[in-house]
Amino acid sequence: MKIRKSGIHQLYSSNPEEADWVLWGRKVDPLTRRGFLRNSGYAAMAAAVGASIPFAHLMPGGLIPAAFAQSDNEFELPGKDGLVVLNDRPINAETPPWLLDDDITPASRLFVRNNGIPPVADGIDPEAWVLEIGGESCVDPQQFTVAQLKERFQHHTYQLVLECGGNGRSEFNPPAKGNQWSTGAVGCPTWTGVRLRDVLEACGIASDAVYIGYYAADTHLSGDPGKHPISRGVPMRKALEDETLIAWAMNGEPIPLLHGYPLRLVCGGWPASTSGKWLNKVVVRNQVHDGEKMGGSSYRVPCKPVAPGTSVPEEDMCIIEAMPVKSLVTFPRSGLSHPLADPLLVRGHAWAGDVSVVEVQLSIDFGATWIKANLSAPANRLAWQRWQAELLLPQKGYYEIWARAADSDGRSQPMVMPAWNPKGYLNNACHRVAVQAV
């Protein structure tokens, strides 16, 4: 049986129970949500994954087997290593999970999300690049060249998670429009720059300040110079955190053009749309910033959960702040064949918005039982955390490894899908990879 990746996603997104029935003859028990595989369906699924499935009776219905859910259509992007390109104008590309195994994400493996057209490298003189600080709640508006920023303020380096608010969007049902990210719109490089707080304080923050907003040098897809592709911001409490940086270096090198050369804002743990690339202006606002992609349903979710497919009035949508707890299995790569007798080393990263990860658990039986992984401390606040474990698979066959992280606020990842929302944000469902014991 051959199933093309886009085909299987389409089938499952329009009607997962129907897809189960068409592909495998699998029926879903309405009480337990477990899938019933009849013998012929079981044979079809086992044939498709290439092995018997010891825990088939525990497998939930309506879920694409992880063996088919991975991105596999690799595509070349200059300077990038095996990223999957979702769109080429503007450029958007994500990283397959097995290429996110590094502790510190190298530039070649960091996802790219552009809303407009980046400035051209040739036209940028990094020393002469000017950052303007202003806005109605800035006491003394000023301009700084990059050289002046470097000279006047203390330098700081932090490893910070960047995750697109729409990471995981492809799994929502009904589907949400936008880049169909699977799991790869996340990374955790180190960033060097000055604290936004130090720069804002040098310009004076008025007592009525509530928000900051950024402006940048990329241009709108329409070509209209009066329009900004994106201009977002964060509340003052996030803007003034130690780790919120105006950065000029990523992993010790000038920030690559695609990631914001020569200057970018980095607000770790919040939707990466708040981390403005090609930064040329920061405004201190006496109201919630109202730049491009701050309003409507952009980077907003229903303030209260809604039924899938509901159309939600604008006043009932709330701005996304910290990203939810999440984890990724970066080794093994889904599809691995592993000798039954050997312990299987499994590892990945976990992160949790503004707080820390306190536990990562793994399951090889579709969530029936869980074991604890070893979890490392983060390099600094707002960096992702390495976890690893050794698993023994009980008999030959097809398994899925599920990873589930819990944060210091007592929240953990949902096993299947979190609350549906119109734009498909904040999918922090457990990551799954397929392994075959042989």
Contact between 113 and Mo ion per CB under 5 A:
yes
CA distances from 191 to 108, 144, 271, 302 (A): 15, 19, 16, 32
Residues in the chain: 438
Smallest distance from ligand MTE to CB 299, Å: 8
Determine contact, residues 374/392, Cβ cutoff 8 Å: no
Instruction: Label residue 120 exposed, middle or buried (CB < 10 Å: 0-12, 13-18, 19+).
Output: exposed
How far apart (Å, rounded) are the C-alpha atoms in residues 153 and 133? 15
Smallest distance from ligand MTE to CB 168, Å: 13
Interacting residue ranges for ligand MTE, rule: CB under 6 A: 110-116, 162, 164, 216, 218, 229-230, 259, 272-273, 275-278
Determine contact, residues 193/243, Cβ cutoff 8 Å: no
| Number of residue whose CB is nearest Mo ion | 164
Contact between 273 and Mo ion per CB under 5 A:
yes
Smallest distance from ligand MTE to CB 161, Å: 11
Strand ranges, E, within 237-370: 245-250, 253-254, 264-266, 279-285, 300-302, 317-319, 326-331, 336-338, 344-351, 357-363
Q: Are strands 264-266 and 112-113 parallel, antiparallel or unpaired?
A: unpaired
List the single partner that 115 binds among Mo ion, ligand MTE, none, CB under 5 to 8 Å by kind: ligand MTE
List the single partner that 230 binds among Mo ion, ligand MTE, none, CB under 5 to 8 Å by kind: ligand MTE
Smallest distance from ligand MTE to CB 275, Å: 5
List the single partner that 48 binds among Mo ion, ligand MTE, none, CB under 5 to 8 Å by kind: none
Smallest distance from ligand MTE to CB 90, Å: 7
Q: Which is nearer to ligand MTE, 213 or 229 (CB)?
A: 229
Q: Which is nearer to ligand MTE, 162 or 188 (CB)?
A: 162
Q: Which is nearer to ligand MTE, 113 or 431 (CB)?
A: 113
Contact between 267 and Mo ion per CB under 5 A:
no
Smallest distance from ligand MTE to CB 139, Å: 26
Determine contact, residues 364/393, Cβ cutoff 8 Å: yes
Contact between 164 and Mo ion per CB under 5 A:
yes
Strand ranges, E, within 352-417: 357-363, 371-372, 374-375, 385-391, 397-407
Q: 161: alpha, beta or left, given left = phi > 0 and alpha = psi -120 to 50?
A: beta
User: What is the contact surface with Mo ion in residues (CB under 5 A)?
Assistant: 113, 164, 273
